[in-house]
Amino acid sequence: MSVGPIDLDDTDRAILRALSLDGTLSAGELGRRFGLSQPAAWRRVRRLEEAGVLAGRRVEVDREQLGFGVTVFLGVKLATKGRVSLEDFERAVTAIPEVQVVQHVLGLFDYRLRVVARDLADFERVLRRRVMTLPGVGSVEANVLLTEERRPGPLGHG
Amino acid sequence: MSVGPIDLDDTDRAILRALSLDGTLSAGELGRRFGLSQPAAWRRVRRLEEAGVLAGRRVEVDREQLGFGVTVFLGVKLATKGRVSLEDFERAVTAIPEVQVVQHVLGLFDYRLRVVARDLADFERVLRRRVMTLPGVGSVEANVLLTEERRPGPLGHG
DNA sequence: CTTGAAAAGAACTGCCT
DNA sequence: AGGCAGTTCTTTTCAAG
């Protein structure tokens, strides 16, 4: 797999930035934008994929369009946190379909969950019947998502 | 755009689930998996795109491969939260390149940020010189990401 | 819904500077 | 590294059942 440190030049970073916004861009289009031929752009993309920098391509599903208008972030603090209880918790939380993301974290909480629901009443059902009954749960804190903005993020020095 | 409620059948949901895992799947491959011809599968994908359910295609960039080994979630509570201070905060936070996601939330915190850094020393620099100096910041709480698992999430009833 | 075909475009290869 | 030319595959659309 990864054989060592990959160093990117400005063109690689421009390609990554463009593909982060629109994953459908073809090698030809990338080449047109950044002054490369189609094969040259294609070889750069393949190199980024082989290096593991481009880790995969995903579609973004708009949950609002599917009737899931509520997104809540839960911070979970476990009551007991031995090795076994972490595994129990992770296995159980993975079985809740409304949970989109499970993050094991260090700090005030032990886990952070991204949960989607149809509305607040639906969320309350998930919280009471699914989350609060998870094995080892101590305290749970919630934040309801209002708006979210994703940014390109850093790609290294230029 | 969206003209009303879109109802999906089991095949649509199967397609969405498959594309969430691998956005490169062709219409032909989707048809093979779910018992459709290539044009039939292609028409379903196009319908999902036109309905806005398939909101876009993105590449996933592995920040670890680029030397950003540390991801931290920050919960930010504002000291003053008038309309102006929200806008000031959002404009200023957007200018920090290390900030990947800005979420305006309701609850214990006002904003949640996803921040990436090269290491903890680098994160401390971002925290002290960039985040703590944002306009209107009250208290900041941090959780360091250990592991993260994304799941398909709910797509509606069957 | 299906199959088949055709046109366009994207991906990929080899060779050359 | 990059470009050019060519081949192959997929996508996209259409015709017809």
Same domain, A83 and A140: yes
Q: For chain A, how many structural domains are there in total?
A: 2
Same domain, A21 and A79: no
- In-domain check, residue A151: no
A114 beta partners: A73, A101
Q: What is the pLDDT of residues A72-113, one digit of tens each?
A: 999 999 998 888 899 999 999 999 999 999 999 999 999 999
* CB-strand contact A39/C, under 7 Å: yes
Q: Is B95 on the interface with A (CB under 8 A)?
A: no
Q: How many CB pairs under 8 A join A and B?
A: 207
Q: Is the pLDDT of residue B24 over 90?
A: yes
Q: Is the pLDDT of residue B14 over 70?
A: yes
Strands (DSSP E) along B8-134, which ranges?
54-61, 70-78, 99-107, 111-117
CA distance A110 to A93: 13
Same domain, A101 and A136: yes
Strands (DSSP E) along chain B, which ranges?
54-61, 70-78, 99-107, 111-117, 137-150
Q: What is the pLDDT of residues B80-98, one digit of tens each?
A: 888 889 999 999 999 999 9
- In-domain check, residue B57: no
Tell me which residue range forms the domain holding B115: 70-144
CA distance A26 to A28: 5
Task: List, for chain A, all residue ranges whose pLDDT scores fall below the cut of 50.
Answer: 2
Distance B26 CA to D5 C1' (A): 27
Q: Which of A75, A58, A29 is nearest to B54 (CA)?
A: A58
- In-domain check, residue B65: no
Which residue does chain A place closest to B61, by CA atoms?
A54
Same domain, A78 and A133: yes
Nearest to A149 among B16, B51, B102 (CB): B102
Same domain, A74 and A44: no
